Chains A and B, each alone.
Chain A
Amino acid sequence: MEGIKPFSWQTSLLTSLFCWFIYLLLDDLDAKRFVSVFGWFFLIVGVDWVLLLQERATAKTDKEFNIPIFDLKFRLSPWISGALTCLAFYSLDFLIYTFRDTLVAWPLFSAAIGAFPKFLKPGPTLKVPDDVGVRQDLVTLVLLAILYSCWFQFTFFVQDLLQQYPSLLADDFDRSQFVVRTNRQTIPTTNGVVILDNAEAAIRSKLNGRSWVNVQRWLRNIDEQVPSLNQQIKADTFGNPPRVGEAGLWQFDANYTDVSPEDVLNLQAIWSGPSSKANGYILEKTCFISQAPVQITPAPASSGQSYQMTCQSVTSISEAVNFGRDERWDEG
């Protein structure tokens, strides 16, 4: 504590610490905010100062890392100070309001902080650097920062897309030039499986309580039922109005063939959205329906049903999609 000079990074950091201490003592939100502005400011100045000194100390000994092509020296300190500045703005709710904006703004702030010393002049005035090389570096620096920012933006853009179209996650990204799959172990299943499960449940609930003749009549006319079933199943799966954009890309279809003793009901979930195979893919679930063993009294709705329905597991036309062959989709 003795050797601290009044104008040094230690002072700055200590002032910051002092501000945060005050911050803890205060109750009023506005006052807290006011104090935290100073807290952040001195923290950023202090950290930048330390890093600058560090950089100067190592610059002579260490080999510098140059960004190839652009012939630009890579410096770590602006990135750290920039990150701190972004966090400060974020926590103060000033200009930056979301975590996403924080990341997007990070390279821009870092570039500004990295470029700032070039504009300094002895005294309180600023100047435009008059060395052509320095100017070229500045131009490159700013452009690179915007490019990084765009990359972050693109990451979030892809995340947004995947949130709107979660079934894409079940597909095969191997050919993509833009994204790489990092969860090879836990690839999620496509929503088509949920659609087929919901379809089975919906059809069961429609058939419940009908006599066997009625059941057969309903199934023979299933083509007429498909549009309303389609709506109902989508509402079950995606909510109404749908929570995700992919709801419009799914289509439900059903086919019924009358082959005694076991009639075949074919349920299809058709995906017409983006996929690794041309024209999307189709998931299928085959159900066998037969008359229930004859009971002595005609079965009331509550106890047994007049039919037996057994469904096989889902199959897919496209092998690339994960439709949960060996998985726990029982809980639905």
Chain B
Amino acid sequence: MSLTFHVSTRSQLHVSECFAPSSDRLSDFVFVGAIAVEASVFHRLLKTDPKQSILYASSINLFCTVLGWIVFFLIFNAEEVSSGSTSQFEIDMMNFIFFDRWSRQTATSLILICFVTFFASFGAKELGLISLQWLLKAGIKQEEKKEEKKEKKKETEEESTEDLTEQKPSLRTPVIRVLRRSSRLGQPQVGEKTPSQLRAVLFANAWSYSAILAILLLRFAVQASYSSIEP
């Protein structure tokens, strides 16, 4: 995004605008990293094929990012409407956007925000995955039903061979069954336990957050060493 907007401000100074939104290198990196990590978790836990895992991971991460942006705009708009003067929150936010700087108090609230975001994004991702799967499957029912019948036959055959504790069809949601089937079709491993999707999303989220945290810590370390070198 190398867009430059020239707009003269209304201030006395008549300056022309002088910035371009950078493509936000750090968050791009974090975004791609998160997708990679989550895709590999899906691949392992949901037994989806690699391409499918990447598509799942990228879709739900996109969904999450978009939600995040929308929430950000909502919060800022509400903040602007509610307070006439500049609030401390706005100052902190501008410090962060323009100067990449945060105070001790801001760091505390940032950690708190990350903590909340973890659970919020977990919910959003689970929701995203469920709706994605629904979007991908809904409406394709005619062929589906036939397949399902076949599948059920297969399953019952398999169940008779597998141990009984694992197989409780009443508990299983259709989504899981879909995943289960695709895993069966992909790599027919009889007797392998398929963990629930919720668990997979939780793990994926946890892993990607750990990765992001590691990246950020590394960045802090690099920055700290830079600033110590500088006079």
Contacts and interface: CB of A to CB of B under 8 A. Distances in A.
A274 B98 contact: yes
Interface in B14-64: 15-22, 24-27, 32, 35, 51, 54-55, 58-59, 62-63
Range for the number of chain B residues in contact with chain A? 35 or more
A136 B136 contact: yes
Contacts of A121: none
B110 to A, nearest CB: 14
A29 interface: no
A245 interface: yes
A155 B17 CA distance: 12
A147 B65 contact: yes
Contact of B135 (A135, A186, A243, A276): A135
Contact of A180 (B9, B19, B91, B103): B19
Given A183-B16, A188-B15, A168 B94 contact: yes
Given A130-B140, A146-B66, A178-B97, A248 B59 contact: no
A202 interface: no
Interface stretch (B69-77, B161-169, B184-192): B69-77
Contacts of B15: 166, 169, 186, 188
A163 B12 CA distance: 11
Interface in B84-120: 85-86, 91, 94-95, 97-101, 103
B95 A182 contact: no
Contacts of B99: 171-173, 175-176, 274-276
Contacts, number: 161
Contacts of A166: 9, 11, 13, 15
B65 to A, nearest CB: 6
A157 interface: yes
Given A135-B136, A157-B73, A178-B24, A186 B11 contact: no
B102 to A, nearest CB: 10
Given A130-B139, A273-B86, A140 B22 contact: no
B81 interface: no
Nearest to B65: A147
B32 A173 contact: no
Contact of A175 (B51, B70, B100): B100
Contacts of A140: 55, 58-59, 62
Given A150-B66, A177-B22, A155 B135 contact: no
B76 to A, nearest CB: 7
Given A136-B59, A178-B97, 9 more contacts: A139-B132, A154-B21, A162-B9, A166-B9, A177-B100, A179-B22, A181-B18, A186-B15, A274-B98
7 contacts: A70-B58, A136-B55, A139-B132, A150-B70, A182-B19, A188-B15, A273-B86
